[in-house]
């Protein structure tokens, strides 16, 4: 399909499973270049981050951002971010605009029909256009410091995000800027004991699959709420977390992460730390890792947790975890095999089959479908099942060549 330049290592790669569209980022002499369907974009950048260079959920367009690092005469960072969009109909990427910004984020709506970018100011002393928020390439908000935690509502017509303005925590919508609370400490970066509730929804996803969270109410569908009992180690109550899901409180745990909810809303799964030994008031986190489904422990303890994968209907659950020095992947509690530290999973349409991606001892990627393991590749793009649920297909980079693979289950 394509042969890359051996002198320019591929830093980032993504492709649709059938190979109809793809892009890659290569690097030479600390400068990175975007390659779209085999055509190199002429402009070079200091960085094209994989977090802000992605296909839409449906794969019908690519949004990417190029960073040019810089400093002014006072030494402050003046990074310039240029936002681009490209589709199959585009002969060259279309520039959306350039902004003095750094630590940017890219968010897609649940359907993938819309996208948003938060572009925080690169310097606290920055003047002019700053702290920009884009939706579908248009500026919808600006000048609200440190924009983040952007979310579309379930109808994808409304939106909200958080802004930290000194000591004030604000909620910004298309209608108004509303103060949520003022931090109780003069230093805005010191932990606050103001109440915070985290909300989770299957409509809100972060790259690539883990559900993201927001700490404000914003018209969520099938919300779960994560509460924390304390924010200070010196508090009399050691730090517990618990979830209220479908109006039912679940048990206390030392920590909770990797929360996922099925698309219909009745099932929730997550990793958690056991609360055993709280009476010792230990200052270190020596709590064991557990897998929780609908408030009940279904697996564990593990020495280290990896990633969690809930099937769309909620009937099946897979996870990776480390025990006795080895990372393994499990399906509904049954060990499927040993994996590297990174794992990704792909359900067939009927959810009866699972293919997974992992890394070998050299950090290269491979796919396991059934009992068949693929060769190792430097990069693997999106993985999908064919319509008959008998084959997975994907594009991969092996040595310096881009190839398209169909792997029978």
Q: Tell me the DSSP string of 262-286.
A: -TTSS-EEEEEE--TTGGG--SS--
Token reading at 144: 């609200």
Backbone torsions φ then ψ of 274, nearest 5 degrees: -65, 150
Mean per-residue pLDDT for 67-74?
82
Q: Nearest Cα to 251, choosing from 265, 270, 235?
A: 270
Task: Flag the least confident range among 141-150, 233-242, 314-323.
Answer: 233-242
pTM of this structure: 0.88
Determine if the peptide bond prior to 91 is cis (ω within 30°): no
List, in sequence order, every residue forming a beta bridge with 44; answer none if it has no partner. none
Q: How far apart are CA 265 and CA 223, in angstroms?
A: 8
Neighbours of 194 (CB within 10 A): 12
Instruction: Supply the pLDDT for residue 182.
Output: 82
Q: What is the pLDDT of residues 198-238, one digit of tens each?
A: 888 776 665 555 567 787 777 666 688 888 875 555 555 56
Highest mean pLDDT among 167-171, 196-200, 334-338: 334-338
pLDDT at 287 over 90: no
pLDDT at 325 over 70: yes
Percent of residues, the chain, with pLDDT higher than 70: 87
Instruction: Supply the pLDDT for residue 208.
Output: 53
Mean per-residue pLDDT for 160-175?
91
Q: Are strands 248-249 and 241-245 parallel, antiparallel or unpaired?
A: antiparallel
Highest mean pLDDT among 66-80, 129-143, 360-374: 129-143
DSSP string, 114-172: -EEEEE-BSSTT--SS-SEEEETTEEEE-S-SS-EEEEE-TTSS-EEEEEEETTEEEEE
To the nearest 10°, the Cα dihedral for 332, 334, 336, 337?
Answer: 130
pLDDT at 77 over 80: no
Q: How far apart are CA 357 and CA 380, in angstroms?
A: 9
Instruction: Supply the pLDDT for residue 65.
Output: 97
pLDDT at 196 over 60: yes
Instruction: Supply the pLDDT for residue 190.
Output: 61
Output the 3-class SS for 174-205: CCCEEEEEECCCCCCCCCCCCCCCEEECCCCE
Mean per-residue pLDDT for 386-406?
93
Q: Nearest Cα to 258, choosing from 189, 345, 176?
A: 345
For residue 57, the SS3 value is coil
Instruction: Supply the pLDDT for residue 352.
Output: 92
Band the pLDDT of 383: cuts 50, 70, 90: very high
Instruction: Supply the pLDDT for residue 349.
Output: 93
pLDDT at 321 over 80: yes
pLDDT at 386 over 60: yes
Q: What is the pLDDT of residues 347-377, one digit of tens each?
A: 999 999 999 999 998 889 999 998 899 999 9
Residue 373, Cα to own-chain centre: how many angstroms?
A: 26
Exposed/middle/buried for residue 159 (C-beta within 10 Å: 0-12, 13-18, 19+): buried
Total count of residues recorded for the chain: 409
Q: Nearest Cα to 152, choosing from 107, 119, 197?
A: 107
């Amino acid at each position: 399909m394509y042969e890359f330049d051996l002198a320019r290592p591929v830093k980032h790669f993504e492709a649709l499973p059938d190979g109809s569209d793809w892009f890659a980022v290569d690097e030479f002499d600390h400068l990175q270049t975007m390659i779209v369907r085999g055509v190199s974009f002429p402009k070079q950048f200091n960085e094209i981050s994989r977090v802000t260079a992605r296909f839409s959920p449906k794969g019908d367009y690519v949004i990417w951002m190029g960073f040019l690092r810089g400093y002014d005469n006072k030494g402050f960072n003046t990074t310039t971010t240029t936002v681009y969009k490209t589709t199959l109909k585009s002969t060259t990427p279309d520039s959306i605009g350039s902004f003095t910004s750094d630590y940017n984020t890219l968010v897609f709506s649940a359907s993938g029909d819309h996208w948003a970018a938060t572009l925080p100011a690169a310097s606290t002393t920055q003047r002019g256009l700053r702290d920009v928020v884009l939706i579908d390439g248009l500026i919808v908000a600006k000048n609200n410091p440190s924009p983040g935690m952007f979310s579309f509502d379930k109808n994808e017509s409304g939106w909200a995000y958080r802004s930290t303005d000194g000591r004030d925590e604000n909620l910004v919508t298309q209608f108004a800027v509303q103060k949520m609370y003022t931090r109780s400490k003069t230093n805005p970066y010191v932990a606050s004991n103001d109440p915070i509730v985290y909300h989770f929804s299957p409509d809100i996803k972060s790259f690539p699959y883990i559900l993201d969270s927001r700490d404000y109410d914003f018209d969520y569908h099938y919300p779960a709420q994560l509460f924390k009992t304390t924010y200070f180690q010196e508090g009399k109550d050691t730090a517990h977390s618990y979830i209220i899901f479908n109006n039912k409180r679940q048990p206390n745990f030392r920590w909770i992460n990797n929360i996922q909810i099925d698309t219909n809303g009745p099932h929730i799964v997550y990793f958690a730390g056991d609360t055993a030994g709280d009476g010792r008031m230990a200052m270190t986190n020596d709590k064991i890792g557990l897998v929780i489904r609908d408030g009940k422990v279904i697996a564990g303890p593990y020495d280290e947790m990896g990633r969690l994968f809930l099937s769309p209907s909620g009937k099946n659950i897979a996870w990776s975890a480390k025990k006795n020095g080895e990372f393994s992947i499990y399906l509904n509690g049954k060990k499927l095999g040993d994996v590297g530290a990174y794992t990704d999973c792909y359900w067939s349409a009927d959810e009866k089959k699972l293919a997974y991606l992992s890394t070998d001892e050299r950090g290269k990627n491979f796919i396991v479908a059934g009992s068949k393991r693929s060769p190792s590749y430097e990069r693997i793009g999106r993985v999908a099942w064919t319509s008959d649920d008998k084959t997975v297909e994907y594009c991969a980079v092996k040595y310096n060549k881009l190839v398209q693979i169909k792997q029978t289950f």
